[in-house]
A = this chain, B = another copy of it.
């Protein structure tokens, strides 16, 4: 997805928020805001939001000498989500359609995102996402894809959301590879965060070689790009994975909440929509049968 002009103010807000979270002094905060505007001005028009965000958070980490400003927020989110795990499993167990409930739970967890906003209401979001109609028809295509695939490549998103992903993965019979980030970026899950959520009990955990938001293939290491290109079914969580992979020719089911108005517009949906969207490659594969 391209970067819309509306993303610029939001990215500037994100820079300030990250600077504060990293413990920057007022003077440092001001310097970071001014430098971020310079960076935004220099960015090529074709850069995606995750590419720009990557540069901004790199700047914040460098200027504040804090390698992981969201470290405590990630731990807290994982802790909070683990407290919900028994209830999430019970929701799936008691559901008339456990697969759909598990997918919805994974989407509900996507609210845990310090890029899109400054906070969230986890339990209220869970209730809402369980009840709200799915905005796109990706669920049927995901079901069809799962009926054939032996393995799923699962592109994770945020720490804490990992626990909600675990509930979906427990519902899958396929062998699952869970992809974490190679280093801290916003509150995205690294291998350490994935382990803290117990994902190792239900999936192989790998990292993509990059410490950028979403999946910037050019920045990932080759071993990951190989797995990505050979995958027969990919589940990609969250806005940044959609922003970075919406044009990729791969069989992807995007699971996310359209938390910002720009993504909602790009998808032709209302803000807050609960989205399961099949990529064209996944749709074609299913339609061809």
Contact = CB atoms under 8 A, between A and B. Distances in A.
A30 B29 CA distance: 25
Contacts of A9: 9-10, 12-13, 16
B8 A33 contact: yes
Interface residues of A, number: 17
Contacts of A30: 5, 45
Interface in A171-224: none
A33 B29 CA distance: 21
Contacts of A5: 16, 29-30, 33
A45 B38 CA distance: 17
Interface in A1-27: 5-6, 8-10, 12-13, 16
The listed residue with most B CB atoms (<10 A of its CB), out of A5, A40, A45, is: A5
Interface in A34-84: 34, 37-38, 40-41, 45
Nearest to A30: B5
Contacts of A10: 9
B33 A37 contact: no
A232 to B, nearest CB: 39
A5 B41 CA distance: 18
Contacts of A13: 6, 9
The listed residue with most B CB atoms (<10 A of its CB), out of A8, A10, A33, is: A8
A12 B10 CA distance: 9
A270 to B, nearest CB: 15
A13 B12 CA distance: 10
Contacts of A37: 8, 37-38, 40-41
The 4 nearest A-B residue pairs measured at CB: A9-B13, A37-B37, A9-B12, A9-B9
23 contacts: A5-B16, A5-B29, A5-B30, A5-B33, A6-B13, A6-B16, A8-B12, A8-B16, A8-B33, A8-B37, A9-B9, A9-B10, A9-B12, A9-B13, A9-B16, A12-B12, A30-B45, A34-B41, A37-B37, A37-B38, A37-B40, A37-B41, A38-B41
Given A5-B16, A5-B29, A8-B33, 16 more contacts: A5-B30, A5-B33, A6-B13, A8-B12, A8-B16, A9-B10, A9-B12, A9-B13, A9-B16, A12-B12, A30-B45, A34-B41, A37-B37, A37-B38, A37-B40, A38-B41
